[in-house]
Structures are given as C-alpha cells and as structure tokens.
Homo-oligomer: A and B are copies of this chain.
Amino acid sequence: MPDLTLTTFNWVPELPRGFVRDLRVRWALEEAALPYRVASVPFDDRGAAHFAHQPFGQVPWLIDGDTSIFESGAILLHLGERSAKLMPADPRGRSEAIKWVFAALNSVEMASLPWALFRFTGNDDGSPAVKFFDDFLKLRLKHMEPVLGAREWLAGPFSVADVLMADVLRLVDHFDGLTEQPACRAYVARATSRPAFVKARADQMAHFAAADTARSA
C-alpha cells in the first residue's frame, strides 16, 4: 500500500472540474512516478475531521506517513524534497525553484485568481474593482512574457515551480487572458502536453464523473 494519500472532494460542480487543486498534486506525483492513493471527503458537508486536516475546509491535503500537509504550495515543496524530478537537489537550483513557487502563487496567482473568480462568478462587469484586477494581471503577465520567452522551464529542468506556474496560467488561458502573451501561451501548451499532466487531468475528470454516476444511482 502506498504511503502517500491525496484527499480531494467526493464531488464538485461542473464548472471547476479540471481546475480543482488536487490536480497540482496529482501532476507532481505522476511526474515523480510516486505511488499514491486518492481519498475523498464530502463536498456538501464538511465536518470536524476535514477541518482538522485543512483549516479552511478546502482541498487537497496529502498524508505522507504520519505527516498531513495542506496548501498545494506546501505539498509540492514537500514532494520536491522527495524527488529530484520535482526539484533540483543542488542548493542553487533548489533556491531558483522555490523563488518561482512563491512567484507563481503570490505574484501571478494573486492577480489572476481574482481576475478568474470575477469570470467564474459572472462578476466581470467592468466596474472599477474589476478593471483594477484586469490591469494588475496585465502588468504581471507583461513581466512574465520575457521570462518565459527566454527559457523552457522556470528553474532549469522542469520542477514543481512549473506545475504551479503552468496551472496558474492555464486558468488565465482558459478565460482567453493570454491572447497578447504568446510565450506564456506556448509555456502553458508545453507544460500541459506532458504525459503526467494529461493523466492527472484525466484522473480528476474521471474521479468527479464517477461521483455523478453514484449520485444519480
């Protein structure tokens, strides 16, 4: 039995499927060829046992032996320390990867998630607040474009930094937000054509589709 257990929801609505964050962890686990099992918690009724692992009632979390880790960034950093396929082992390469892990989450996603949430929720109404995040995201993308035009992956070889950055930019691309950034778009295409991503996405879609069947049974 694998010592790694990834927990996600038992079901989610159609809209976020393919974008639930367990995908980041599945992707990394597939890249590293680490064996794991997937467990589920109720989407509709989140109990104390859920909050004990994830204080915000979100998913995913990962159990590795007797350690339980929440936050996709923390999980990926943990996996990066288990596999050189996910993070360079030398101090300089490791430092590069960690910088970009945080940049993906706190510089790019900090601008892109509000932007995407306005679209997910139909609140992209052109109000000043929405316009503010349009401009904020555009500025971040403007700076990412030369970075991604000059290198294949963020920190040398493919790493957890790319899992995060590509997943963040993939959502922007999903809402047609990369039309002026060909290098960002090419990076997303490069990353999402990796077999590990393709399998991770298919596995997530199958997981939630199976829940539909169970619900309607």
Given A74-B101, A74-B102, A132-B121, is A58 in contact with B127 using a C-beta cutoff of 8 Å? no
Bound complex: CA of A95 vs CA of B74, how far in Å?
A: 8
- The distance from the CB of A205 to the nearest CB of chain B, in whole angstroms, is 24
> A92 on the interface (CB 8 Å rule)?
yes
Check if A103 is an interface residue, CB within 8 A of chain B: yes
A interface vs B, CB < 8 Å?
51, 55-58, 67, 69-74, 77-78, 91-92, 95, 98-99, 101-103, 105-107, 109-110, 113-114, 117-118, 121, 123-125, 127-130, 132-133, 136, 140, 143-144, 147
Residue among B56, B70, B98, B121 making CB contact with A140, cutoff 8 Å:
B56
Q: Among the listed B103, B105, B140, which residue makes an inter-chain contact with A106, where contact means beta carbons less than 8 Å apart?
A: B105
Query: A110 to B107, Cβ gap below 8 A?
Result: no
A136 to B56, CA, bound (A): 11
Whether B113 and A123, one on each chain, are in contact in the complex, defined by CB atoms closer than 8 angstroms, is: no
Across the interface, do B105 and A132 meet the contact criterion of CB distance under 8 Å? no
Q: A110-B110, A129-B118 are in contact. Are A74 and B57 (CB under 8 A)?
A: no
Q: A56-B143, A109-B106 are in contact. Are A99 and B127 (CB under 8 A)?
A: no
Residue of B nearest to A69 (CB): B99
> Are A77's CB and B98's CB within 8 A?
yes
Closest to A124 in B: B129
Known: A105-B106, A118-B129, A125-B128. 4 other contacts (CB 8 A): A69-B95, A70-B103, A118-B132, A124-B129
